[in-house]
């Protein structure tokens, strides 16, 4: 026996020669040098690999390419079929493929490789459509999908070698993702086989039972179909209509679905048996329909004209169901040869090699196809242009990304991890502090790409930043961020407003505890605030003055204290105390004016220095210098941090304490004061003493001077340093 001496390597050779013969018959004039080269490169790359079945790995790409050859696909497709697993599984690089086989093949191999890396399996039914779209969105050449479908078909045909869990996963993915894509692309033949194979693995019992039942009726059904076919052939011939008539039985999975959906038995599936009439012209399709209806009684409501109105996937045929011999129902499908090819092969039919028929007609149809596809999604701007290069971007407005658990999140193009986080859940968005894409940390402004696996890093208590509003692309994220920012700012304003009122009451020597809730609510409603909380917020935002509110609450008690109330200008506040009744006018809170602010005692920031606000409990907003050592500790409570800035055009000065170490010599103080005079800085207090700590031979001058801003302070300090005999100048608080 020859098979005994033929080793596994020969199986590969055998398949290749089958492929070679097939393409030579289909395309006698083509040059197959590149195809042979693809075979050699792939065989070499896979030579040490085996499939789970034990066969050499190369058997798989060869079978995939045979499927493509049977579909009469072009050479780019066939070369891609042979090479499709090399970049993923071997040392062959995409660059090498580009160099050896050109840009188109490289693009297709790259596309197939990218799809292989995706885990498309989805348990959620509503996810399936997103996954299918994502898959199509990742493809820039429709031939990638065709190769991928051939790849999947061969894997399904050899699924019995895999362990059960993988069988289930692959079959599920095939049924949910790949079979519907084949359907969309009009590839009825592949779709049917993918569905039946999946069904076999996913519902082994139901499938086996159905097959048994169909088998038990087979002889009877075949007899019926043969009889019917013969009668149709005779009738059509009598009318001079050229036709090929085939009997067919509905596919197992279609039958199963129908029985399940309509809760019926096999004997009630009226279109179980069908005849297919393939004729030469549209005119003869309608003529054949007339012949059929003349001979057998049509079942009302079962006549469908998909020639006049094609299905969305461009399927065309006339359908009717008639009462056949013995009163048995039979479906009849009537179509032209061209329609038949399209029904079986769909979009793949357009890549078919057609000798002497390479005119614009073929390309036109290809464009129509994709236009149709695109209309299905309504989003391509100029299909003709995209199609001329065979490149497609079916979903230019969308990007599809995965959660680590494999859920697909559909977002607009250029969406960021923040949008992704909010798409999962508002809490995830609000507490998002970072993101990993495909395992790597990325900036939050990163633009997500199709197929990215995104992991959001969260930290409880974290709040969204205003800066995010400039980055996010989805309105959901934008609205949620705005909402949180408004809520936190309001909470801060309420807290500040409340303390503001309490402080004002203390100043006036009035105990707020004596005021009843009813009084508070009355005053709140006087101000148009529904609740006391709203009044506090309005006070915090500086809409009303606390003194006025207090006056309304306790008019008789406040009369005296208010007339004596000091004017803010007449009595400048000491450092570390709120400087004015309405807060420190030289600093304002970004985005919400007139919150009560004061400069922190610890660092006493002056104009021009970097500052940051911190909401205290009870004293309004403390403003620290960003250099202040306390800031680091305070900022652990990020939610209490608030952005502040120096208000413009205010001529207020800040008291700044400095220590000046000098030689102990006469005239020093005089020189100092003239420097300060020259810099227009007033001295508020001055104290000179012997410098005990630094060796005893010098003097130390402790001064508080009035400073407008950081620049003035720098000028003063530099000028003081230049005075001969000055050893050091230090700012102290
Ligand atoms: Mn493969």
Measured between alpha carbons, how far is 261 from 313 in angstroms, rounded to an integer? 23
**pLDDT value of residue 372:** 55
Q: Is 44 a catalytic residue?
A: no
In this predicted model, what pLDDT tens digit does every residue of 228-262 receive, in sequence order? 999 999 999 999 999 999 998 889 999 999 999 88
**pLDDT value of residue 91:** 87
Measured between alpha carbons, how far is 282 from 267 in angstroms, rounded to an integer? 33
Q: What spacing in Å lies between the alpha carbon of 155 and ligand 1's midpoint?
A: 7
**pLDDT value of residue 579:** 36
Q: What spacing in Å lies between the alpha carbon of 183 and ligand 1's midpoint?
A: 21
Measured between alpha carbons, how far is 485 from 78 in angstroms, rounded to an integer? 57
Measured between alpha carbons, how far is 108 from 125 in angstroms, rounded to an integer? 29
Measured between alpha carbons, how far is 12 from 263 in angstroms, rounded to an integer? 47
Q: What spacing in Å lies between the alpha carbon of 89 and ligand 1's midpoint?
A: 10
Q: What spacing in Å lies between the alpha carbon of 254 and ligand 1's midpoint?
A: 27
Q: What spacing in Å lies between the alpha carbon of 723 and ligand 1's midpoint?
A: 84
By the 8 A CB rule, do 315 and 283 touch? no
How many C-beta neighbours within 10 Å does residue 344 have? 17
Ranking 89-98, 122-131, 380-389, 481-490 by mean pLDDT, the lowest is: 380-389
Q: What spacing in Å lies between the alpha carbon of 84 and ligand 1's midpoint?
A: 6
How many C-beta neighbours within 10 Å does residue 571 have? 10
Measured between alpha carbons, how far is 584 from 452 in angstroms, rounded to an integer? 49
Task: Find the angle CA(425)-CA(396)-CA(79) to the nearest 5 degrees.
Answer: 115
Nearest to 112 by CA among 63, 73, 151, 75: 151
Q: What spacing in Å lies between the alpha carbon of 146 and ligand 1's midpoint?
A: 12
Mean pLDDT of 170-192: 88
Catalytic residue among 89, 100, 213, 521: 89
Instruction: Record the tokens describing residue 118, joined without a space.
Output: 């995706």
3-class SS of residue 125: helix
**pLDDT value of residue 187:** 85
Question: What DSSP state is assigned to residue 391?
Answer: B
Task: Find the angle CA(203)-CA(204)-CA(205) to the nearest 5 degrees.
Answer: 95
Choose between 339 and 643: higher pLDDT: 339
Measured between alpha carbons, how far is 84 from 68 in angstroms, rounded to an integer? 12
List all residues 6 or more positions away from 471 whose beta carbon is below 8 Å from its beta carbon: 416, 418, 444, 445
Mean pLDDT of 164-174: 91
Q: What spacing in Å lies between the alpha carbon of 11 and ligand 1's midpoint?
A: 18
Instruction: Record the tokens describing residue 241, joined without a space.
Output: 């209509």
Measured between alpha carbons, how far is 349 from 281 in angstroms, rounded to an integer? 18
By the 8 A CB rule, do 699 and 664 touch? yes
Q: What spacing in Å lies between the alpha carbon of 112 and ligand 1's midpoint?
A: 9
Mean pLDDT for the chain overall: 80
By the 8 A CB rule, do 573 and 619 touch? no
Mean pLDDT of 152-173: 93
3-class SS of residue 565: coil
Catalytic residue among 36, 55, 88, 231: 88
Measured between alpha carbons, how far is 546 from 561 in angstroms, rounded to an integer? 14
Ranking 376-385, 506-515, 530-539, 554-563 by mean pLDDT, the lowest is: 376-385
Residue 262 CA, distance from chain mean position: 38
Local confidence band at 99 (pLDDT 50, 70, 90 cut-offs): very high
Q: Is 89 a catalytic residue?
A: yes
Q: What spacing in Å lies between the alpha carbon of 395 and ligand 1's midpoint?
A: 26
pTM for this prediction: 0.58
CA distances from 203 to 41, 264, 357 (A): 40, 18, 45
Q: What spacing in Å lies between the alpha carbon of 616 and ligand 1's midpoint?
A: 64
**pLDDT value of residue 682:** 81
Measured between alpha carbons, how far is 303 from 295 in angstroms, rounded to an integer? 15
Q: What spacing in Å lies between the alpha carbon of 520 and ligand 1's midpoint?
A: 76
Ranking 151-155, 276-280, 326-330, 334-338 by mean pLDDT, the lowest is: 326-330
Local confidence band at 197 (pLDDT 50, 70, 90 cut-offs): very high
Q: What spacing in Å lies between the alpha carbon of 151 and ligand 1's midpoint?
A: 5
Q: What spacing in Å lies between the alpha carbon of 353 and ligand 1's midpoint?
A: 24
pLDDT higher than 70, residue 316: yes
Considering only CA atoms, give the Rg of the chain. Answer: 41
Task: Find the angle CA(349)-CA(355)-CA(358) to the nearest 5 degrees.
Answer: 70
In this predicted model, what pLDDT tens digit does every residue of 1-43 receive, in sequence order? 444 444 555 889 999 999 999 999 888 888 899 999 999 999 9
Ranking 304-313, 510-519, 625-634 by mean pLDDT, the lowest is: 510-519
- Number of residues that this document lists for the chain: 733
**pLDDT value of residue 391:** 43
By the 8 A CB rule, do 133 and 145 touch? no
Mean pLDDT of 184-199: 90
Measured between alpha carbons, how far is 482 from 4 in angstroms, rounded to an integer? 76
Measured between alpha carbons, how far is 673 from 133 in angstroms, rounded to an integer? 78
Q: What spacing in Å lies between the alpha carbon of 143 and ligand 1's midpoint?
A: 15
Instruction: Record the tokens describing residue 307, joined without a space.
Output: 């020639």
By the 8 A CB rule, do 584 and 609 touch? no
In this predicted model, what pLDDT tens digit does every residue of 443-472 receive, in sequence order? 889 999 877 889 999 888 888 888 899 899
Query: What percent of the chain has a predicted confidence (pLDDT) above 90?
Result: 29
Measured between alpha carbons, how far is 464 from 487 in angstroms, rounded to an integer? 11
3-class SS of residue 532: helix
Task: Find the angle CA(718)-CA(623)-CA(480) to the nearest 5 degrees.
Answer: 135
Measured between alpha carbons, how far is 605 from 709 in angstroms, rounded to an integer? 9
In this predicted model, what pLDDT tens digit does every residue of 424-446 receive, in sequence order? 999 999 999 889 998 888 888 99
In this predicted model, what pLDDT tens digit does every residue of 564-620 receive, in sequence order? 333 333 333 333 333 333 344 566 666 554 566 778 878 888 877 888 887 766 567
Instruction: Record the tokens describing residue 157, joined without a space.
Output: 């045909």
Measured between alpha carbons, how far is 51 from 508 in angstroms, rounded to an integer? 89
Mean pLDDT of 315-336: 90
How many C-beta neighbours within 10 Å does residue 626 have? 11
**pLDDT value of residue 685:** 78
Measured between alpha carbons, how far is 571 from 621 in angstroms, rounded to an integer? 21
Nearest to 417 by CA among 467, 463, 453: 453
- DSSP assignment of 264-291, as one string? --GGG-TTSEEEEEEES-HHHHHHHHHH
Q: What spacing in Å lies between the alpha carbon of 85 and ligand 1's midpoint?
A: 5
List all residues 6 or more positions away from 437 whose beta carbon is below 8 Å from its beta carbon: 417, 446, 448, 452, 453, 454, 455
The 3-state secondary structure of 324-354, one letter per residue: CHHHCEEEEEEEEHHHHHHHHHHHHHHHCCC
């Amino acid at each position: 026996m020859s098979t005994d001496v033929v080793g596994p390597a020969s199986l590969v050779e055998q398949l290749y020669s089958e492929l070679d013969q097939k393409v030579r018959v289909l395309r006698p004039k083509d040059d197959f040098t590149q195809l042979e080269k693809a075979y050699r490169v792939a065989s070499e790359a896979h030579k040490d690999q085996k499939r789970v079945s034990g066969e050499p790995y190369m058997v798989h790409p060869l079978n995939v390419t045979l499927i493509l050859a049977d579909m009469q696909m072009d050479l780019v497709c066939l070369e891609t079929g042979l090479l499709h697993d090399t970049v993923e599984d071997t040392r062959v690089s995409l660059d090498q493929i580009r160099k050896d086989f050109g840009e188109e093949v490289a693009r297709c191999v790259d596309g197939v490789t990218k799809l292989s890396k995706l885990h498309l399996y989805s348990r959620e039914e509503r996810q399936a459509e997103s996954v299918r779209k994502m898959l199509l969105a990742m493809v820039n050449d429709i031939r990638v999908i065709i190769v991928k479908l051939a790849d999947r078909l061969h894997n399904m045909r050899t699924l019995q070698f895999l362990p059960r869990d993988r069988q289930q996963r692959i079959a599920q993915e095939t049924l949910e993702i790949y079979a519907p894509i084949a359907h969309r692309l009009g590839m009825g033949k592949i779709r049917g086989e993918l569905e039946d194979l999946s069904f076999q693995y996913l519902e082994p019992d139901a499938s086996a039972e159905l097959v048994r039942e169909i088998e038990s009726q087979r002889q009877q059904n075949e007899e019926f179909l043969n009889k019917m076919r013969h009668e149709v052939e005779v009738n059509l011939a009598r009318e001079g209509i050229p036709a090929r008539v085939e009997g067919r039985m509905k596919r197992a999975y279609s039958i199963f679905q129908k029985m399940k959906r309509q809760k019926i038995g096999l004997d009630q599936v009226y279109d179980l048996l069908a005849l297919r009439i393939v004729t030469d012209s549209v005119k003869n399709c309608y003529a054949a329909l007339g012949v059929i209806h003349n001979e057998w009684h049509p079942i009302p409501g079962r006549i469908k004209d998909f020639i006049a109105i094609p299905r969305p996937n461009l399927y065309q045929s006339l359908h009717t169901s008639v009462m056949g011999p013995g009163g048995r129902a039979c479906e009849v499908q009537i179509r032209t040869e061209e329609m038949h090819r399209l029904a079986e092969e769909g979009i793949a039919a357009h890549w078919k090699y057609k000798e002497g028929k390479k005119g614009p007609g073929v390309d036109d149809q290809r464009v129509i196809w994709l236009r149709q596809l695109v209309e299905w999604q309504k989003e391509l701007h100029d299909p003709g242009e995209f199609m001329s290069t065979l490149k497609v971007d079916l979903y230019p407005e969308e990007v599809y990304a995965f959660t680590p658990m494999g859920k697909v999140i559909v977002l607009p193009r250029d969406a960021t991890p923040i949008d992704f986080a909010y798409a999962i859940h508002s809490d995830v968005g609000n507490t998002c502090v970072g993101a990993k894409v495909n395992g790597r940390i990325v900036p939050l402004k990163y633009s997500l790409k199709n197929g990215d696996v995104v992991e959001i890093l969260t930290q409880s208590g974290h709040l969204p930043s205003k800066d995010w509003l400039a980055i996010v692309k989805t309105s959901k994220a934008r609205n949620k961020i705005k909402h949180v920012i408004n809520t936190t700012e309001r909470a801060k304003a309420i807290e500040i407003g409340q303390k503001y009122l309490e402080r004002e009451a203390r100043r006036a020597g009035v105990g707020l505890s004596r005021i009843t809730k009813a009084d508070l609510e009355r005053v709140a409603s006087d101000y148009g605030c529904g609740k006391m909380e709203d009044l506090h917020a309005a006070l915090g935002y500086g809409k009303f003055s606390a003194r006025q509110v207090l006056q309304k609450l306790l008019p008789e008690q406040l009369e005296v204290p208010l007339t004596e109330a000091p004017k803010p200008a007449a009595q400048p506040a000491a450092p570390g105390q709120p400087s004015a009744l309405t807060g420190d006018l030289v600093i304002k809170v970004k985005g919400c004016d007139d919150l009560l602010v004061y400069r922190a005692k610890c660092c006493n920031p002056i104009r021009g220095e970097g500052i940051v606000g911190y909401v205290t409990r009870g004293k309004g907003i403390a403003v620290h210098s960003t250099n202040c050592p306390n800031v680091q500790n305070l900022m652990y409570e990020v939610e209490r941090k608030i952005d502040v800035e120096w208000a413009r055009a205010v001529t207020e000065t800040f008291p700044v304490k400095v220590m000046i170490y000098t030689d102990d010599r006469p005239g020093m103080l005089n020189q100092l004061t003239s420097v300060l005079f020259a810099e227009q800085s007033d001295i508020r207090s001055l104290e000179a003493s012997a410098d005990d700590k630094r060796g005893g031979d010098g003097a130390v001058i402790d001064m508080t001077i009035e400073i407008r801003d950081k620049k003035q302070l720098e000028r003063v300090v530099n000028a003081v340093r230049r005075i001969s005999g000055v050893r050091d100048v230090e700012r102290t608080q």
